[in-house]
A and B are shown apart, each in its own frame.
Chain A
Amino acid sequence: NAGVTQTPKFRVLKTGQSMTLLCAQDMNHEYMYWYRQDPGMGLRLIHYSVGEGTTAKGEVPDGYNVSRLKKQNFLLGLESAAPSQTSVYFCASSYRDRGDTEAFFGQGTRLTVV
């Protein structure tokens, strides 16, 4: 049981390049999330999904797009990378979110935009 798996683990991009981060979970969770983590700060929600085919904006969605074509996968796209998007990105999933369930996190993707 792998839990939440993120690929890639590390990536360096040039400003203006695009890329997609992949998140896969094998726990049959309904909800999936993308967070970013910057030094000295907690995790901030970028986008989330409450089920296959649905997505919604979080706290810091600008510059990112997401897709949830399959229940087990949640993709985060950067259309035109900027240095401000240098961060560690975490994917998470939860069975459902009535407001009282924990989220399970992946290991993170460290992205540097130069």
Chain B
Amino acid sequence: GESVGLHLPTLSVQEGDNSIINCAYSNSASDYFIWYKQESGKGPQFIIDIRSNMDKRQGQRVTVLLNKTVKHLSLQIAATQPGDSAVYFCAENRTGRRALTFGSGTRLQVQP
């Protein structure tokens, strides 16, 4: 079946280090991917997206990499800060489909 999943449930990093959160997807028809950040007690918040015609996209301190060959997506956070502590979800969609499918999330813990 189709799925969007994450390799690690929890990632702990030191403040100032770079963080890499990974995500695997199974459906080769997926052509749109989003990373969401969810802080405790809040709804998911959009971070960055990427379409399948791209391999890389950069935002402020964040970079998303897409490897369609191995169906893998990663979120890189540069100079991780305490405010980055949250659960991060990847989600995917494809043309003609009505709603996003979410992975189970990775908790990022930033150690001072």
Residues of chain A touching chain B, judged by Cβ–Cβ distance below 8 Å, are: 4, 31, 33, 35, 40-45, 48, 50, 56, 58, 90, 92, 97-100, 102-108
Contacts and interface: CB of A to CB of B under 8 A. Distances in A.
A35 B36 CA distance: 14
A36 to B, nearest CB: 11
Given A99-B31, A100-B51, A102-B49, A58 B43 contact: no
B46 to A, nearest CB: 5
Contacts of A4: 43
Nearest to A49: B98
A43 B42 contact: no
Given A99-B93, A102-B34, A58 B44 contact: no
B59 interface: no
Contacts, number: 66
B42 A99 contact: no
Contacts of A92: 43
Contacts of A48: 98-99
A43 B102 contact: yes
Interface of B: 4, 9, 31-32, 34, 36, 41-46, 49, 51, 89, 91, 93-105
B43 A107 contact: yes
Contacts of B99: 31, 33, 45, 48, 58, 97, 103
B42 A107 contact: yes
B98 A105 contact: no
Contacts of B105: 41-42
